[in-house]
Structure 1
């Protein structure tokens, strides 16, 4: 049964209004153009700041740790002292996965990314770390912890370079695209 509410047509399934009828039925399977997919991933990275990093313990079991991250392009990075479990795990095995997601209100708002790649640790003073440190907003953290903003952190940076990103956004279904899209770096 259908009826109009504020000029919008409302579909009723099983006596209940279907708020997002485009979520019903099979998912489309159209692939989003690379440029549009990259724009959506970069937007997600820019509007979120927490990721769950999954590393591999020495016994082969997984270890998942939430971190506050920053991004440059498709790489994400965070600070961690070398003695932490995640840093020790990554020094032994650089394979890593990270999950970044937007707050979930319902299926229509489901949006996130799973990064699969490798991690590298850059010590302070390493010239390869300069661009990352410039993008890292450590000053507010220092002030919050009572440290002077004139003294930058000495902890190393961990940079995750993805070789694949699985991007999920159910809103894509509205326009006929699959809700899960796979990104790989251009060759």
Structure 2
């Protein structure tokens, strides 16, 4: 039987991408997707929540209702993990990232909010909800700056690189 992707057979390569090429691939993934799974820990155990996010370099951002379970968990322990992935057709198309960082909650008056807010596309959600575009939301903005990222892309095997690569700030 012919193999669709013969380069997937045999031993898995271990070669690492240089930092710039790895950063470029990660940034491409983060900016080409808009959904992630946010993992937090709370009194009832782990919580994995699908979230629409917006990227700013190696930072992911989203808004959330202040009393939501994910916000309660972040308040108790801001260490989070975020899974971002591209649609999967088969092993050859497997591409995703595990982002590890500390969530910061920026209220409307927080001095760092303006810099992040400029990259946040709140207008989309306001339009979906029939809200006025002249009044930006005042929901808390959650900002997760990546400390480390585990990036997986099986297509890298074609060039002799390990499908799992590690990035650190």
What's the TM-score, normalizing by structure 1? 0.89
Alignment deviations for residues 128-187 of structure 1 (CA, whole Å, 9 cap, x no partner): 1101111111112111111011110110111112211000000000000000000001xx
Aligned-partner Cα distance in 1 for 2:103–2:83: 14
Q: Aligned to 2:2, which of 17, 36, 60? A: 17
Whichever of the two has the greater Rg, that structure is 1
Return the offset for 1:99: 0.1
Higher RCO structure, 1 or 2 (CA under 8 Å, sep 6+): 2
Q: Displacement of 1:34 after TM fit?
A: 0.3
Q: How far apart, CA to CA, are the structure 2 residues paired with 1:100 and 1:140?
A: 20
Structure 2 unmatched ranges of 5 or more: none
Match for residue 145 of structure 1 among 105, 129, 140: 129
Aligned length: 169
Q: TM-score, normalised by structure 2?
A: 0.98
Q: 2:60 aligns with which of 50, 53, 76?
A: 76
Matched, 1:90 2:74: yes
* Structure-1 residue corresponding to 2:20: 35
Distance across 1 between alignment mates of 2:15 and 2:66 = 43
1:58-101 Cα deviation digits (max 9, x unpaired): 24x11000000011110101001210100110011011000000
Aligned-pair CA distance for 1:125:
2.5
Distance in 2 of aligned mates of 1:156 and 1:30: 41
Aligned to 1:55: 40
| Runs of 4+ that moved beyond 3 A | none
Partner of 1:119: 103
Structure 1 unpaired stretches of 5+: 1-15
